[in-house]
Amino acid sequence: MLTRAIDGYLAVRRAAGFALTVDTGLLHSFARFAADRAETHVQRQTAIAWASRAPSPYQRERRLGMVRRFVAHARAEDPGHERIPRHVFAYRRTRPLPYLFSDRELEQLLAATTRLRPRGSLRPLTYATLFGLLAATGLRVSEALHLVVDDITADGLLIRQTKFRKNRLVPLHETTAAALDGYLVRRHAVAGRELHVFVATTGQPLTYRMINGTFHYLLRSVELQTTTSERPPAPRIHDLRHRFAVRALEGVAGDRDRTAQHVLALSTYLGHAHVADTYWYLHATPHLMRRIADACEVGGAGGTL
C-alpha cells in the first residue's frame, strides 16, 4: 500500500517536470524498510530510524525531507500518515564561502592549461577553452558539460533543460565566440561525429570528475592570495561562476530601482530560479555590497530613495 502511494506521488511530481532520480530510489528504500515492520502508513519514528542510516547529518536530514514532502502530499487523501518534523538531526546546510579569483590568478590558471599532457594533444586547448568559457559567461559546469555543437548559434549559447528545466540563451562576447570557434576546428578532427562540445583526448565527452580533477591540479600553478589574519576559503570550480557574477554586479550604479533591474537581468542570464539566489552573491561579497550601497547613496543624493 505504501509503495503504491509513493509511486502515485512520484508520478504527479514527474508530470510537473521533476526528474526525481534520487528521490525514487530512496523513497522505495523507505517503503521496503516500513514493509519489514509490517507498516502500511508512514510512522514518524520509522521514518527517523530509516533516515538515520545515512552516513552524514545532511544526508539524514535530506532523506527525512523526502519522506516529509511525500507525507504532505499523501495526507490530502489519507490522514493516517504521521507528519514528519523538521531539523531532527540538527543540521542546517550553509553555502560555502566563495573564493574570488583575481584577474592575475585567472590568467595563471588558463596559462597552466598549456602545460597539460599529452603535449600537442587537444587536451590543453580543451581546458583553456572550457575554463575560459566558465569565467566569461558564468555557466554552471553541468551546463558546459551538456553543450552540443548545435547549441552554439550566431546569437549565443542555447542552454537546454538546465538545472531548473528551463531553456535560456547566453550571449557571447566576440572574443569568447572566436576562442570557442577556434577550439571547435581542432576538436572536430579528434571527436568526429561526437555531439558534445567538450571532449577528452579519446573523443568521448568530458565528465565532471575529469574537469574537477584537472581544475585542482592546475591550481598548483596559481599563486593564490593569502592573508595573515584569516585563511581564505579553498577555491572551487564553481567559484569561476561566482567571479563572473561579482564582476557583473560591480557594474551596478545608480538608485535602488536601477540596481534591482541589474540584479534581475543577471538572475535571468545566470539561470537562477529565484532572484534571491542572485542577491546571495552580494551578501557573500561584503566589499561589493558596500560599493553598491555607496553608489546608491550617490545616485539618490538630493532625492528620496
Residues 128 and 196 grouped into a single domain: yes
Could you tell me if residue 111 is inside a domain?
yes
Could you tell me if residue 89 is inside a domain?
no
Could you tell me if residue 9 is inside a domain?
yes
What per-residue confidence (pLDDT) applies to 305?
A: 32
Residues 115 and 209 grouped into a single domain: yes
The conformation of residue 206, written as its DSSP 8-state character, comes to P
Mean pLDDT split into 10-residue runs, the chain, 305 residues: 92 78 92 95 96 90 93 92 88 73 95 95 97 95 94 94 75 96 93 91 93 96 71 86 84 62 74 65 58 54 40
Query: Of 36, 54, 74, which residue constitutes the final position of a domain?
Result: 74
What per-residue confidence (pLDDT) applies to 226?
A: 64
Query: Of 74, 92, 123, which residue constitutes the final position of a domain?
Result: 74
CB burial of residue 228 (10 Å; 0-12, 13-18, 19+): exposed
Residues 22 and 112 grouped into a single domain: no
Tally the domains of the chain: 3
Residues 116 and 193 grouped into a single domain: yes
Residues 108 and 216 grouped into a single domain: yes
> Distance between CA 281 and CA 278 in Å, rounded?
6
Host domain of residue 169? 103-221
| Distances, alpha carbon 121 to alpha carbons 85, 129, 200, 203, 220, in Å | 55, 14, 10, 11, 21
Could you tell me if residue 244 is inside a domain?
no
CB burial of residue 266 (10 Å; 0-12, 13-18, 19+): buried
> Distance between CA 11 and CA 15 in Å, rounded?
6
Residues 270 and 211 grouped into a single domain: no
What per-residue confidence (pLDDT) applies to 162?
A: 67
Could you tell me if residue 209 is inside a domain?
yes
Residues 293 and 203 grouped into a single domain: no
Question: Catalytic site residues?
Answer: 140, 163, 238, 241, 272, 281
What per-residue confidence (pLDDT) applies to 57?
A: 86
Could you tell me if residue 11 is inside a domain?
yes
Could you tell me if residue 92 is inside a domain?
no
> Helix or strand or coil: residue 102?
coil
Q: With beta carbons less than 8 A apart as the criterion, state whether 271 and 238 touch.
A: no
CATH number at residue 164: 1.10.443.10
Could you tell me if residue 228 is inside a domain?
no
